[in-house]
Amino acid sequence: MQNTKDSFFIALRDRLAALDPARTVTVLGSTRPAIIVPENELADAATLLPETFYITFGACTAAADTERLEHPLQQLACEITYYTEGSSDLSSQDRGRTLAALDDELLAIASPPNAVLKDYSQTPTADLGANIFWTRPALAAPKQVGNKLSRVASLTIFTHTEAQ
């Protein structure tokens, strides 16, 4: 399943870099697109940064009604969390607009809903001869805590079991 996680993350990361090259974060001295998988980071880098997409992977299960197929599917739950505090120039009154812009960016980088499955544990990366695909992100209602306005988007990633 690690190849699926890596392929999903890198597809979204590369799309974000192309869509909005200015949306970056600096983590432990390294500047990169503002999309992070916390399970891949050092514990010291776990501080949540505003206007950054955080990908968290959940349970992996067999996709319903595919067990009898020659190449059954696995499904991987995924949540993408992000928040904004708005700008200090506007006393955080632009939080709604900023969150809506983040929503639009997420929906843009999640489309098309597929990517080539690759093995990124080797150099050069190896194409595994399959694709992963996912559902459209479902955006939960925004939550407000103090000046923070946050959202969680949920989706499901699918991959063929033999490709792993």
By C-alpha distance, which of 9, 1, 61 is closest to 38? 9
User: What average pLDDT does range 85-110 have in this prediction?
Assistant: 85
Residue boundaries of the structural domains of the chain = 2-163
The per-residue pLDDT for range 9-56, each reduced to its tens digit, is 999 999 999 999 999 999 888 999 999 999 988 876 667 899 999 999
pLDDT category at 109 given cuts 50, 70, 90 is very high
The C-alpha atoms of residue 28 and residue 10 are separated, in whole angstroms, by 19
Rounded to two decimals, the pTM is 0.91
* CATH number for domain 2-163, candidates 3.40.50.10470, 3.30.1330.20, 3.30.2000.30, 3.40.50.300: 3.30.2000.30
Is omega for the bond preceding 124 within 30 degrees of 0, making it cis? Answer: yes
pLDDT category at 90 given cuts 50, 70, 90 is low
